[in-house]
């Protein structure tokens, strides 16, 4: 009997939305300020998932420049109807205090690999936009931001979408006010037999998270709550290894079996920090009296889930050896807020190398020369080799462990006041920067240098080597758990959101603005 091991998609891949097209399954997940937007994973057996593409790959679809940390693409909704793929996404611009600007857009494609259309604006009344195909009619749902209420969650609204005129028509109606758990968001609608079923995420995307379910014989309601109110949650089981479970989406297999995908996190300690962010998990669904339940009518999702016999896939290779000798970069590599273009990251100018032109500082919300990948494993080494000739201290290039614009730990080559090449480390933690002058290393400025970081649960240790010598550690052992939603999201300040995850990457800064470049020979990601 095949089975899935949860999480089925590791690392920062939250708010999963799933579809099946014949024997192929696709999951879309949130991507926030990272570019391109919306990751798509593919599977044929529900156990092994391969990152195959990203939907929003041009700035005309996704303008992220200047968007706040954890802004950008929240909770996408992927659907398929009559040969067309539909993706609804929000581009949340800012969200400090009760104000949020969260325009929702629709893009469509005939193929999951695209080309995806330019965005159709739907509404900015709230985030977590969702589309439901009801025969020849289509309905747009989202949560309502009500700035008049202290917690700004104004319930779930519904409005018809007209595919001809490509806009919302009719009136926006209140559909569902949620349960006493509150923070009602993440709506998805389904039809099964005589009932419409409404899934929502409640309790907030931290340790109180839950999937709530209600049903009605009329799409406009009123919706009757499930006998248990919630379908799944770990809010009452703090010692369970997978936590924060919520924000779900149903899928039906070829042989009529129902499953639900949802987000989970794996804290390093009980209700502690989750350094791999919010990941994607799966559970079985069975029906009784036209109500869905997890097996055993429990709310707690399992670590191993039995699956039907589907088209078996080979397990996905987790290591990545990017040697920059192909025409395109590994799909695992992405940039912050702007597309990776020849203008600042070239594989052509020096074949076999990635030439990256130095741009803005590592805390910039605009145009950084930074290319990175999610940290998807608790124990992993990430390394690179660079050739760099810094002329002064405003030229920097190196290896960065990045969460957001004010949480990162950066090992970089630069020049001292004598023009000699040195290695330095800088940590940014809640707007406080820390330097480590005691670790300054003098380099042979005519040779390349290799840099490495070892992520081991909550610990980060940097290494370097030059001219074939052995790896030598540099700097203290850092607390890597600061690169987590839990640490960054200041618990007292509900509106300081943090929804992403730890990345490891390479970056170059020329703070003089003249594009002084570094050449990278390789970038490796190697789970231990």
CB of 338 to ligand 6LW, least distance (A): 22
Q: Which of 33, 45, 128, 424 binds ligand 6LW (CB under 6 A)?
A: 128
Binding test (CB under 6 A) with ligand 6LW, winner from 247, 266, 359, 426: 247
Between 90 and 159, whose beta carbon lies closer to ligand 6LW? 90
Decide if residue 69 touches ligand 6LW (CB under 6 A): no
Return the beta strands (E) in 57-101 as ranges: 72-81, 84-92
Closest to ligand 6LW by CB, 185 vs 510, is 185
Give the CA distances from residue 267 to residues 20, 241, 270, 273, 275, in Å, rounded to whole numbers and listed in that order: 31, 7, 6, 5, 7
* Count of beta carbons in the 10 Å neighbourhood of residue 459: 14
> Rounded distance, CA 111 to CA 128, Å?
23
CB of 28 closer than 8 Å to CB of 70: no
CA separation for the pair 43, 71 (Å, rounded):
28
**CB closer to ligand 6LW out of 32 and 388:** 32
Q: Which of 34, 499, 523, 525 binds ligand 6LW (CB under 6 A)?
A: 499
Minimum Å distance from CB 264 to ligand 6LW?
A: 11
- Cα(188)–Cα(210) distance, rounded to whole angstroms? 14
Cβ count within 10 A of residue 447: 11
Q: Are 384 and 520 in contact (CB under 8 A)?
A: yes
Q: Which single residue is written with the structure tokens 């957001």?
A: 404
Q: Which of 183, 129, 100, 179 is nearest to 15 (CA)?
A: 129
Quote the CA–CA distance of 239 and 198 in Å, as a whole number. 29
Cis omega before residue 115 (within 30°)?
yes
Per-residue interface string for the shown chain with ligand 6LW, residues 22-51, x marking contact by CB under 6 A: --------x---------------------
Query: Based on CB atoms, which residue is closest to ligand 6LW, 248 or 480?
Result: 248
**Rounded to an integer, what distance in angstroms lies between the CA atom of residue 394 and that of residue 81?**
53
Of residues 33 and 322, the one with the C-beta less far from ligand 6LW: 33
Report, in Å, the least distance between residue 361 CB and ligand 6LW. Answer: 27
At residue 480, φ and ψ (nearest 5 deg) are -70, -10
Instruction: Draw the binding track, 256-295, toward ligand 6LW (x: CB under 6 A; -: no contact).
Output: -------x--------------------------------
Q: Which is nearer to ligand 6LW, 75 or 508 (CB)?
A: 75
CA distance 132 to 160: 9
Within 8 A by CB and 6+ apart from 148, the residues are: none
Contact 362, 507 (CB under 8 A): yes
Subset of 320-359 contacting ligand 6LW (CB under 6 A): none
* 165-194 positions binding ligand 6LW, by CB under 6 A: 185-186
Q: How far is the CB of 90 from ligand 6LW (least distance, A)?
A: 7
For ligand 6LW, the closer CB: 36 or 246: 246
Q: What is the smallest separation between the CB atom of 14 and ligand 6LW, expressed in angstroms?
A: 5
**Interacting residue with ligand 6LW among 7, 14, 277, 292 (CB under 6 A):** 14
CB of 183 to ligand 6LW, least distance (A): 8
Q: What is the SS3 assignment for 405-454?
A: CCEEEEEEEEECCCCCEEEEEEEEECCEEEECHHHCEECCCCCCEEEEEE
Secondary structure (3-state) at 130: strand
Contact with ligand 6LW (CB under 6 A): which of 4, 78, 87, 201? 201
Rounded distance between C-alpha atoms, residue 217 and residue 331, angstroms: 44
Catalytic hit among 45, 69, 185, 486: 185
Instruction: Please return the burial class of 135, using the count of CB atoms within 10 Å of its CB with bins 0-12, 13-18 and 19+.
Output: exposed
Active site residue 15: yes
The residue among 127 and 412 lying less far from ligand 6LW, judged by its C-beta, is 127
Query: If you ran DSSP here, which 8-state letter would residue 32 be given?
Result: B
Residue indicated by tokens 């010598």: 469
Report if residue 205 touches ligand 6LW, rule: CB under 6 A: yes
Select from 26, 34, 49, 74 the one that contacts ligand 6LW (CB under 6 A). Answer: 74
Q: Which is nearer to ligand 6LW, 95 or 402 (CB)?
A: 95
Q: Could you say whether residue 404 binds ligand 6LW (CB under 6 A)?
A: no
Query: At its nearest, how many Å lie between ligand 6LW and the CB of residue 508?
Result: 30
Question: Pick from 7, 11, 12, 15: which binds ligand 6LW (CB under 6 A)?
Answer: 15
Size of the site for ligand 6LW (CB under 6 A): 15
The conformation of residue 144, written as its DSSP 8-state character, comes to: E
CA separation for the pair 377, 140 (Å, rounded): 36
Q: Is residue 197 within 8 Å of residue 208, measured between CB atoms?
A: no
Shortest distance (Å) from residue 454 CB to ligand 6LW: 29
In the complex, the smallest distance separating the C-beta of residue 171 from ligand 6LW, rounded to whole angstroms, is 24
- Figure out which of the listed residues 46, 75, 329, 508 binds ligand 6LW, where binding follows CB under 6 A: 75
CB of 30 to ligand 6LW, least distance (A): 5
Nearer to ligand 6LW, 156 or 219 (CB): 156
Question: What would the DSSP string read from start to end of 342-359?
Answer: TTTEESSSSTTSEEEE-B
Q: How far apart are CA 123 and CA 300, in angstroms?
A: 35
Binding stretches for ligand 6LW (CB under 6 A): 14-15, 30, 74-75, 127-128, 185-186, 201, 205, 246-247, 263, 499
Active site residues: 15, 185
């Amino acid at each position: 009997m095949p089975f899935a091991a949860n999480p089925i998609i590791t690392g920062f891949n939250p708010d999963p939305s799933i579809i099946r097209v014949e024997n192929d399954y696709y999951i879309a997940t949130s991507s926030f300020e990272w570019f391109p937007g919306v990751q798509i994973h593919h599977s044929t057996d529900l156990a092994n998932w391969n990152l195959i593409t990203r939907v929003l790959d041009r700035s005309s679809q996704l303008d992220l420049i200047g968007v706040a940390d954890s802004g950008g693409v929240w909770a996408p909704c992927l659907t398929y109807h009559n040969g067309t793929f539909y993706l609804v996404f929000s581009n949340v611009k800012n969200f400090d205090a009760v104000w949020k600007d969260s325009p929702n857009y629709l893009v469509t494609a005939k193929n999951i690999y695209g080309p995806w259309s330019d965005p159709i604006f739907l509404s900015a009344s709230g985030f977590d936009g969702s589309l439901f195909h009801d025969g020849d009619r289509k309905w747009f749902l989202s949560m309502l931001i009500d700035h008049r209420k202290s917690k700004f969650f104004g319930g779930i609204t519904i409005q018809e979408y007209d595919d001809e005129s490509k806009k919302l028509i009719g009136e926006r109606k209140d559909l569902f006010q949620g349960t006493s758990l509150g923070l009602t968001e993440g709506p998805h609608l389904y039809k099964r037999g005589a009932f419409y079923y409404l899934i929502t995420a409640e309790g907030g995307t931290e340790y109180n998270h839950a999937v709530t379910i209600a049903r009605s014989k009329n799409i406009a309601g009123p919706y009757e709550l499930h006998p248990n109110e919630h379908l799944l949650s770990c809010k009452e089981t703090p010692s369970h290894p997978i936590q924060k479970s919520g924000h779900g989406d149903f899928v039906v297999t070829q042989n009529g079996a129902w499953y639900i995908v949802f987000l989970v996190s794996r804290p390093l300690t009980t209700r502690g920090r989750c350094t791999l962010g919010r990941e994607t998990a799966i559970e079985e669904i069975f029906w009784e009296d036209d109500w869905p339940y997890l097996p055993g009518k429990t709310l707690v999702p399992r670590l191993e889930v039995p699956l039907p016999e589907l088209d078996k896939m080979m397990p996905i290779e987790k290591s990545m050896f990017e040697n920059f000798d192909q025409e395109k970069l590994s799909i695992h590599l992405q940039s912050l807020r702007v597309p990776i273009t020849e203008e600042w990251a070239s594989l052509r100018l020096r074949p076999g190398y990635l030439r990256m032109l130095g741009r803005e500082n590592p805390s910039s919300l605009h145009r950084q020369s930074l290319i990175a990948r999610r940290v998807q494993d608790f124990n992993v080494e990430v390394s690179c080799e660079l050739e760099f000739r810094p002329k002064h201290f405003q030229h920097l290039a190196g290896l960065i462990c990045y969460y957001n614009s004010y949480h990162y730990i950066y090992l970089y080559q630069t020049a001292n006041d004598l023009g000699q090449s040195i290695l330095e480390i800088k940590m940014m933690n809640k707007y406080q920067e820390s330097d480590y002058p005691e670790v300054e290393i003098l380099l042979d400025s005519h040779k390349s240098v290799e840099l490495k970081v070892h992520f081991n649960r909550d610990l980060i240790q940097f290494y370097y080597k030059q001219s074939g010598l052995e790896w030598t550690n540099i700097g203290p052992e850092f607390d890597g758990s600061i690169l987590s939603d839990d640490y960054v999201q200041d618990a007292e300040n509900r509106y300081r959101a943090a929804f992403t995850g730890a990345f490891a990457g390479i970056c170059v800064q020329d703070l003089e603005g003249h594009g002084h470049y570094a050449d990278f020979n390789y970038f490796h990601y190697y789970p231990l």
